[in-house]
Each structure stands twice: as C-alpha cells, then as structure tokens.
Amino acid sequence: MVGLVLFIKIKRLHMISKNEFDKLESQVIQAIESLFDSIKKENEHDYLLFLIKAENISRYPSFSNLSNPYVIDYSIDRMIDRSRLDFMVEFLKSAYSFSKKGELLGDPKLRIPLELMIYTHIWESKPFLKQLYRLALLASGDGYPWEVEVPDWSKHTFIRQEIRDIFSASNMVIGDIISNGYHSSLRNAFAHSDYYLCAVTEEINLTNYKGDKWELKNISFKNWTIRFIYSILLSFHLENFIQKKRSEVPQEFDLSQYSINIPSLDQGSQTEYIVYNADGDSFSFVN
C-alpha cells in the first residue's frame, strides 16, 4: 500500500497541469495561425489552392487516362483519415480532463500506451503529412505542389528534411512545434513493442536503443506527455483550422467566384473559375 501511495504522489507531482496544457495549446494555435497568415500574404492564389484541396490524381491507376487529372475538393484523403481523426478527438476529450486543482486525471499506465498508438498514427498519416508538406513549400514560396507522394518508408527523413527543416528555414514556429513533438525513436519503439513503462522512475524505457546519438534511451512521463500534446494538438487544430478557413473563403476574398490556374498537359496553365457551396462545404468549377 505504501508503494501505491508513493506512486500516486509522484504521478500528481510530475504529470502535466492544466496551465501547462493551455500554454502548449496556445503555442500550437498561434503557430498555425501565423503560418496561414504568412502563406496568404505571400501568395493568395496558392493559399486558395491549398484550401480547395487541389490535387493531381493521375498517379492513381483508375484515373491515369483522364484528359485532365487536376481536380479540386479532393476528399479521399480526408475520408481515409476520418477514423483516426475521430478516435483522436474522442481520446483528447476523455483523457485530458483535469481536476479543479488543475491536475491531470487518469492512470498513466493506461493512458500512455494509447497515446503511443495515437502518436504513431499521427506521424504515419499520409494525409496529415501531405498537408504539412504542402504548407512547408508554400511557406518557403515554392508554389503549390499539385502532386505529393509521401514515402512508405523512411518517413522520419521526410518529416525532418522535407517538412520541419523547410518550416524552420522560413522562420515558421511550426518547425519548432514539430521538433518538440516528433521523434522517430518513440514511433519505432511503439511500432515494434520495444518499450516498457517504469512506475518507479516514471519513465518510458525504449528497448530499441542502440546508442546512436540521435536516439532516445528513455523519456520521462512528463516529457513524453509534452511531446504527445504537441503532436496531437498540431493534428487536431490543423484539421479544424483548415475547415474553418475553407468556410471563410467568401468573407476573406469577398467574391462569389474565384479564379485559379490549373496546369495543362502541355506544361502551360489555364484559368478556371470556381464557387463555394456553404451547405456542403464544397468547391466546384463554374460550368
């Protein structure tokens, strides 16, 4: 019984507080808002292409013979990611409740394994990584990439070099948010069940540790929680913010129709006009 009481006391002292959670959430929200403001200021046209989910679908076998593979309102990625997002939201609402004193409730032995699963799915989600990649290129002024291929393997290199480092080079705080959240040691440890929780030291020990300087050997429960919160709030608020900005396009641009440039097969481009349907939160071409 003494050991149990001691563990509860340590847990209360070392778990994240409501004030700390709120500060992290504020950082994530501000980073996303600043990113979108910067992209819109840099190039309104490319900013609009991102919000309307412009996509080149020629890489998919069933669409390879289309005369024009450039589409808008590409919703398949969101459908693919829907189950992950729904579960993530429900977990966030249920697991991150706090007492009146601002203490995080719940047992870390039950919460942390679920968090590791959610964390792994966040940083393996191709739709999520596609969004970050496109935003990184837009923040750097490289233009909107209609086609994005997220690698099946070595996603850690893609996340670090093609996303995080591009944000950081553009002085976007979201690069720091990714650094504070993502670490491939954690993803790999959970994916291969190479970890265990130690209640005495309040650490996650990673048994896949080989001694390389970039690897994590262990991480405290609190530092893990901080990495997890940065990751889940980035995924959660980015999705919400994109949907919010889509619905605000008529107010932001003060137009009933919007012109976009679509690549053509002869390496040129053509201008098309689109409209927004508020009832279905959808964009379509003007016939």
Domain total in the chain: 1
Own/partner contacts of 92-101, CB < 8 Å, gap of 24 or more, are 92/232, 92/236, 96/21, 96/229, 98/17, 98/18, 98/21
CA angle 167, 172, 178 (to 5 degrees): 60
Asked if residue 267 belongs to a domain, the reply is: no
pLDDT of residue 1 exceeding 60, the answer is no
The span from the first CA to the last CA of the chain, in angstroms, equals 73
pLDDT (tens digit per residue) in 249-272:
999 999 899 999 999 877 788 999
pLDDT above 60 for 5: no
**Domain range enclosing 211:** 2-48+80-143+151-246
Percent of the chain clearing pLDDT 90 (strictly above): 78
Residue 66 in domain: no
How many Å apart are CA 223 and CA 116, to the nearest integer? 13
- The model's confidence at residue 202, banded by pLDDT at 50, 70 and 90, is very high
Span 164-191, pLDDT tens digits: 999 999 999 999 999 999 999 999 999 9
| pTM of this structure | 0.92
pLDDT (tens digit, 9 = 90+) per residue, 87-129?
Answer: 999 999 999 989 988 988 888 888 999 999 999 999 999 999 9
254 is a domain residue: no
Note whether residue 53 is domain-resident: no
What pLDDT does 8 receive?
Answer: 44
Across the range 20-34, mean pLDDT stands at 98
pLDDT band with cut points at 50, 70 and 90 for residue 64: low
Q: Examine residue 265 and state whether it is found in any structural domain, yes or no.
A: no
Q: How many CB atoms lie within 10 A of CB 177?
A: 24
Tally of CA atoms within 13 A in the half-sphere of 67 that contains its CB: 0
Question: What pLDDT is stored for residue 4 in this prediction?
Answer: 41
Using CA atoms, how far residue 226 sits from 103, 192, 285, in Å, is 15, 22, 43
Residue 283 counted as domain residue: no
